[in-house]
Structure 1
Amino acid sequence: MAGYVLELTRWNVKNDGTDAINTSKGINAAIIWASQQGFAEIVLPGGIYLIDENNPIQPLSFMTLNLGGSTLRIRDNGLQKYAIVSFQSNQQYSKLTNGKIIGDKDTHDYNTIPGTHEGGYGIEVGSFTPKVGSNVRFLSIDHLEISNCTGDGIVFASTFGQISPVPLQFAASFEQGGINTSNGTFTVDSKRIRSTLKIDLGQSLIKKYGYFGLYGNGYGALGSEITTNHYDVIFYRSDNTFLYAANTVQFFDEVDVPVGAAYARVVLHQSAVPSSNGVSINLRVPEFPKHCRVEQCQIHHCRRQGISICGGKHLYINECEIHHIAGTDPQGGIDIEDGYDLNQFIHIDGNDFHDNTGYDVVVVNGKYINITNNRINTTTRYVSLGLNRGVDKAIVTGNTIYNALVSLEGEVLFTNNQLYGSHLRLSGDTQLPREINISHCMFNNCLLTLDKSTPYQIKIEGCKFFNDNQKINSFYNAKWCSVTFRNEPQIFSNCEFSGDDYYYLNYIINGTKGGWIYDNVTFTNISKPLGLPGGTYTNCKFYGSGALSLNGSSASSGEYTFKECMFNANVTVNNAKTFKLLNCYLQQQAGTAVKIQNVSDQVILKGNVISYLNAAGVNSMIKIEAMFTGNWIVIEDNLISSLIKQTGIENLISNNQQVQVIIRNNTLKNAIFKLNGSELYMHNVIDGVMV
């Protein structure tokens, strides 16, 4: 049946911005009538509809509410909470489209009723205490302009839905052993723990929705002694016979109840029996939006958020513009927070975020989060894009990010993004370690901070870091250097650094540990000091670079090994424990190729080629300075050559120092030794003569 155009007089509706009570009542009555008559769409005539703050518009299932280009505006009020459009009746296949939704942010009464007044929503999908239910399914919201709400433009909300047994009873019920998932019998199993309690499947919420599950508490926590992500559910008939088993269920997922099941038992996939204090698992039947889409909407000048996601699965936010959110924290574009790992399969694609006071996108908890092909441009010093440590299996790809602070702590693949004048901060603690992979991204005038408390959980692969004279205009704490090193070592591979930073390329914080891994990393056209952290550098290239300063944050952390690397930079080693230069090629123009200063243990220069192709004097090609305090130095199997006579190896250590210097099997051309006489040298060839 064709769409129904609402008849203003018939339903006592005003489209001139007056008579909120009758207008809200009339629109809702017309929606119900149109649904009963079989209309698939109801269309509002153009105009401004003043909405009663106590009576939101309530679209129905299997219908489109087409605003017809008109405006729904909330009546000025002083309520803590309101909604202009509300979906709280388990609607399915409902659509809201084509118009404007405006709150009363600028004229709201914030004083008469005390409180935060952050619950004024343009569109409310679900609720913690819904009118009928929050299980909204297959909802479409598109081509809307939503603005000036005291809270959020759009909120997706869920119920908690706790059922029996209560958490304290459940927490105290675990014992060693499993349950056979083929016949329901108890088993002896040192790798499983089972609850002794029966879950009554006749409870009202289970009977209403046909599912339940194991979830965390109000903060999403399962408990400090829960070490698994999975459990089994075994269903029994009322006569105690086995019916069915659901194997390897994940926490925060729903378990469908089979027909004929009277009760169920659960088995956790872990060996240790927790104490009751170490468990905060809740049995729940949460209600939440699912399979909902927000597309081609403009959401702006709301007070708290553009969109809040507080529990939902398979939600899609595509091609929206979200901007100028300001007034009360978090003041963000999209906030995925309450509901924790109930937030799953969230897709944020092709949106434009700008001029938001707080976050543009923040994910506190959730899994399977995809943030793709968005444009983020911020003017704030707040975190613009944040994925906190409770996030699992997130993908951030194809985004363009300007002048922003990006903070990643969760399990994230951050790939094929372009960042300009921004700061990417990677962190995380040892209590909840998460792997972060940064892959094939381009950083222009940016800062990367590595601050993980667990080693080798960050991998930077195939990325390019470019700096130019605009670096000084970067995000406020991104302009000083390109990489800041803190805490435990991580891994770089197949990356390229090019162009001068404002001050220096790298900044090593005191306390940074050694052991960093660089594999096939190229440094080009960098005249400022590089300042590399202690670690192993394999097949790395230093082209057109200035002095390479190796200065460990402490003598214990400064252990450097270079293998099969290429240099045309002068290398100075200071405040390090060890330095090894193995099978490398140093093509020099001037200056000392390798300068050994304060090294506390050992130096090995082996199998290298050091070549000076110009005729300028260089003082010494390899120089061991008097400040050396280590135990021994080995210089062997190197080829050292110059076009004119130079000093090949110079040892300035006093001959009364207890340092063993071994120089052997080296080949020198147009180069000589300057030694103190305490060295052990043998089988060296100078200009074809063995010495």
Structure 2
Amino acid sequence: MIKKAIILLTFFMLSFQSLLVEAVTLENSTQAIGARTYNLELSRWNVYNDGTHPVETTNGINKALQWASEQGYQIFKVPAGRYLISKGTKPDDSQARINMVSNMTFLLDDLSIIQKETNSYENYRTLYVGYGVNNATIKGGTYQGDKETHNYSSRDNADSAGTHEFGSGISSEGSYNLTIDDVKIINFTGDGITIAGSNIGISGTYGKDYLYGDIDGSGKFINSTSKIRPKNAMDFTSPSYKGRKYFAFEQPQGVTNNRYDVYFYKNDGTYLSSVKQVRFGMDLVQIPQDAKSFYPVFSSNAIANFFVKLFSNDVSRNITIRNSELAFNRRQGISIFGVDGIEISNNKIHDIKGTAPGFGIDSEAEGFFPNNNLNIMNNHFYNNRGGDIVFADGDTALISNNKFESSIGVYIYSAFPNTTVKSNTFTSGGLTMGGTGVADLNTFINAEVNLSATSNTLTNSTFLNSRLTLKNTDSFGSKVENITMTNTDSSVFTSLNVGDRPVQLSNITIQGVTKLSTLGGKGTDQNVYNNLRIEDYNAYNGTSLPAGTYNNCQFSSATNELVGLAINQTGTYAFNNCSFHALGKIFTIYSLFGEADITISNSNFNISKDVGYAAALYVQGAKQLSILNSTLTANNLTLNNTPYIKIGSLGGSTKPTEVNSFTFKNNSITTSKALYGIDSMDAGTGAPAYTISNNIFNIALLKLKTNDLKQNNEELSPY
């Protein structure tokens, strides 16, 4: 009985596991439970799968798709083979493409190839998902263009530029709920995938059709000298509105504001609702269900010059592109020309080259359609000549967990605000954020990062042989925190450049020598650097510090030093609770680009070998320098012929002074040999009295000019 029970239990467990596997398989398959599949019958529809008869094949697939849709099928399965899609008789011939239908999965066998016939047209589509075609899925197989055999010498018309950059693999114009999954799209003369909006021009209206006047919150007409409204109500009787839900006014002339209002009315003329502050080229106006007419209100003080055009615009909505490969297309991997809600995930996008722009993904509606809510994640980009992602215009995006390996990684223009760039790896290319946004938890390798928007945040990121440049257009527009920058290649020119607008940086660590100044830029008196740590900066050529306040900062050098840290320009510098460690040269301060105002307090200076060229702190020029409540040490000296602090240039005693004020107060200098702690003898002619008071000189000596104020100092002799 026990043995039988064990056998039964084992059988039950195996059966249960089998059911689990079967359930998972069904769940992950294209064919959902209850979906009806039509297997394309080639002979029935006169379709050829040997790469011949393009006209017959194209017509046959389209007829079969329509029939399958009418019969209630949800999956249209195409068997293995090469299907040649007709080139057509004109550019963008609607009969020379596969025209997708609603509520259908177009499923290719893994060995199926949809091949566009060689042609000479500037513009063609291979698979087209038009406006009103919703809830479609395109899955499996390969879509292949004619890039290698295309005739680029011809032009479609006399006005054409002849770029041949608009031949696409899969194209959507205003479709809803489209999924593109597990496809390979290669060798198209233009884009692998184009996701675009749909527009129909309805009418143009001129100033003669308007009068000065506004509309109040209850829909009543009111007087105005700066607003205009139509003399008569506009309605939705035009056939161009059929089946469409949105409209927009575009191409305005004679307006004083780039926004407008729209007021809707019911069939009986009563007020229904309004939409305020609609942006030309950026927003669409949704038509309320009960609306029969409407009045737009524009800002204008020159009604005679007014013009605007009305379009029934819409965008593609809820688009998914996943698990696919887009490669070797001439123009773009994916172009986004009008979308609200798109997810691009788990794709390989590479080797896009041949004609500009040449990006993996390009969001660029040119101010005619909105591009909103883009989610780009877990993709791998490489070898794209223009770059990996460019956002020319739009609003709101998430770019996360991608690998960027082209010469330009992600470039975001100011016309695309509200972007989050998170947990990506950038190799070689980098990130430019001209639009407002947040960059967090990214890794940059041999890359460049430029923050140039009104407001950007860069946090929790790692830089390897990479550079960060802050060019924020507004004060404190760049917030930078928790950054580690490591240089293992001394050919890197610089690590961090702060620009000339106020910034605040916190918890920045920079390690490793750079070719030029490790930290640079003009800075401003308002800049704040909290917990900045720089190790092995370029001390030979000098690391010229930008102006601002440095709190709890650490600077250390273990390399050969000629200049050390440098201050050589106009600005206010404050160092609070900072530490400076070097072999023998800590600071060179001079007035090459203007006189600096410098205060160093509660800080620590230490050199680990003999004093370097001229002095450990070589002060040749400054508006004023104050060193207060600080400690200066040199415990490993073998020589005593060079001072710790020198005021004035070597041999500069007969030259006009450039150090206009020097205060050294409440400090201690400790040295292992009796060198001069402070030497002011070369301060120059006209040098004021410098103040050296309440200090301790332990072994170190003083060599001061006669007018210096030497007060309450304690000099501890080694003898």
TM-score, normalised on structure 1?
0.85
SS of the residue aligned with 2:543?
coil
Q: Which residue matches 2:598?
A: 579
Q: What is the rounded CA distance, in whole Å, between the counterparts of 1:611 and 1:278 in structure 2? A: 77
Contact 2:325 2:348 in 1 (8 A): yes
Q: Which residue matches 2:361?
A: 334
Q: What's the CA shift for 1:237?
A: 3.5
1:427-446, aligned counterparts within 5 Å? Answer: 427=452, 434-446=454-466
Cα distance change on mapping 1:504 and 1:630 into 2, 3 Å:
closer
SS of the residue aligned with 1:25?
helix
Contact 1:164 1:200 in 2 (8 A): no
Q: What's the CA shift for 1:95?
A: 0.6
2:153 is the alignment partner of 1:116: no
Contact 1:178 1:194 in 2 (8 A): no
2:636 is the alignment partner of 1:614: yes
Cα distance change on mapping 1:10 and 1:44 into 2, 3 Å:
same
2:482 is the alignment partner of 1:462: yes
Q: What is the rounded CA distance, in whole Å, between the counterparts of 1:292 and 1:78 in structure 2? A: 30
Cα distance change on mapping 1:274 and 1:530 into 2, 3 Å:
farther
1:106 to 138, 148, 151: 148
Q: Which residue matches 2:572?
A: 559
Q: What's the CA shift for 1:487?
A: 4.0
RMSD: 3.2
Cα distance change on mapping 1:654 and 1:143 into 2, 3 Å:
closer
Contact 1:332 1:360 in 2 (8 A): yes
Q: Which residue matches 2:505?
A: 492
Q: What is the rounded CA distance, in whole Å, between the counterparts of 1:266 and 1:389 in structure 2? A: 29
Contact 2:377 2:400 in 1 (8 A): yes
SS of the residue aligned with 1:209?
coil
1:472-511, aligned counterparts within 5 Å? Answer: 472=491, 479-484=492-497, 486-508=499-521
Q: Which residue matches 2:417?
A: 392
Contact 1:201 1:207 in 2 (8 A): no
One-letter amino acid matched to 2:115: R
Q: What is the rounded CA distance, in whole Å, between the counterparts of 2:697 and 2:631 in structure 1? A: 10
One-letter amino acid matched to 2:485: F
Q: What's the CA shift for 1:327?
A: 1.1
2:229 to 193, 196, 219: 196
Q: Which runs of 5+ in 2 are unaligned?
A: 1-34, 89-95, 157-161
1:598 to 618, 621, 630: 621
Q: What's the CA shift for 1:361?
A: 0.9
Q: What's the CA shift for 1:585?
A: 1.9
Contact 1:578 1:603 in 2 (8 A): yes
Q: Please give the per-residue CA displacement for 1:92-148, whole angstroms capped at 9, x wherever unaligned.
A: 11011110111111111122336221111111111xxxxxxxx30000111111111
Contact 2:226 2:301 in 1 (8 A): no
2:288 is the alignment partner of 1:258: yes
One-letter amino acid matched to 1:621: Y
SS of the residue aligned with 1:440?
strand
Cα distance change on mapping 1:11 and 1:188 into 2, 3 Å:
closer
Q: What's the CA shift for 1:347?
A: 1.2
Q: What's the CA shift for 1:65?
A: 0.7
Q: What's the CA shift for 1:295?
A: 0.6
2:693 is the alignment partner of 1:677: no
2:102 to 54, 57, 61: 61
Q: What's the CA shift for 1:370?
A: 1.6
Q: Which residue matches 2:312?
A: 285
One-letter amino acid matched to 2:264: F
Q: Please give the per-residue CA displacement for 1:1-34, whole angstroms capped at 9, x wherever unaligned.
A: 4311011111111111110111111111111111
Q: Which residue matches 2:191?
A: 152
One-letter amino acid matched to 1:543: S
Q: Which residue matches 1:538?
A: 551
Q: What's the CA shift for 1:149?
A: 0.6
Q: Which residue matches 1:363?
A: 391
One-letter amino acid matched to 1:460: V
Cα distance change on mapping 1:111 and 1:246 into 2, 3 Å:
closer
Aligned length: 646
Q: What is the rounded CA distance, in whole Å, between the counterparts of 1:686 and 1:90 in structure 2? A: 90
1:35-434, aligned counterparts within 5 Å? Answer: 35-54=69-88, 55-69=96-110, 70-113=112-155, 115-126=162-173, 135-161=174-200, 166=205, 179-180=216-217, 183-185=218-220, 194-197=227-230, 200-204=234-238, 205-206=240-241, 208-213=243-248, 217=251, 226=257, 233-237=262-266, 240-246=269-275, 252-265=282-295, 284-340=311-367, 342-378=370-406, 380=407, 383-427=408-452, 434=454
SS of the residue aligned with 2:67?
helix
Q: Which residue matches 1:636?
A: 665
Q: What's the CA shift for 1:678?
A: 1.0
Q: What is the rounded CA distance, in whole Å, between the counterparts of 2:328 and 2:605 in structure 1? A: 58
One-letter amino acid matched to 2:554: K
Q: What's the CA shift for 1:595?
A: 2.2
Bigger drift between 457-466 and 153-162 goes to: 153-162
TM-score, normalised on structure 2?
0.82
Contact 2:234 2:295 in 1 (8 A): no
One-letter amino acid matched to 1:140: T
Cα distance change on mapping 1:653 and 1:249 into 2, 3 Å:
same
Q: Between Structure 1 and Structure 2, whose CA radius of gyration is higher? A: 2
Q: Which residue matches 1:12?
A: 46
Contact 2:254 2:303 in 1 (8 A): no
What is the percent sequence identity of the aligned residues? 27
Q: Which runs of 5+ in 1 are unaligned?
A: 127-134, 428-432, 473-478
Q: Which residue matches 2:25?
A: none
Q: What is the rounded CA distance, in whole Å, between the counterparts of 1:666 and 1:273 in structure 2? A: 72
Cα distance change on mapping 1:231 and 1:567 into 2, 3 Å:
farther
One-letter amino acid matched to 2:471: D
Q: What's the CA shift for 1:405?
A: 4.7
One-letter amino acid matched to 1:598: G
Q: What's the CA shift for 1:615?
A: 4.7
Q: Which residue matches 1:523?
A: 534
Q: What is the rounded CA distance, in whole Å, between the counterparts of 2:578 and 2:169 in structure 1? A: 59
Q: What is the rounded CA distance, in whole Å, between the counterparts of 1:369 and 1:278 in structure 2? A: 38
Cα distance change on mapping 1:669 and 1:320 into 2, 3 Å:
same
One-letter amino acid matched to 2:229: T
Q: What is the rounded CA distance, in whole Å, between the counterparts of 2:438 and 2:105 in structure 1? A: 38
Q: What's the CA shift for 1:560?
A: 2.0
Q: What is the rounded CA distance, in whole Å, between the counterparts of 2:551 and 2:303 in structure 1? A: 51
SS of the residue aligned with 2:413?
strand
Q: What is the rounded CA distance, in whole Å, between the counterparts of 2:361 and 2:476 in structure 1? A: 31
Q: What's the CA shift for 1:421?
A: 0.8
Contact 2:205 2:308 in 1 (8 A): no
One-letter amino acid matched to 1:572: T
SS of the residue aligned with 2:66?
helix
Cα distance change on mapping 1:289 and 1:277 into 2, 3 Å:
farther
Q: What's the CA shift for 1:413?
A: 1.4
Contact 1:573 1:579 in 2 (8 A): no
Cα distance change on mapping 1:621 and 1:274 into 2, 3 Å:
farther
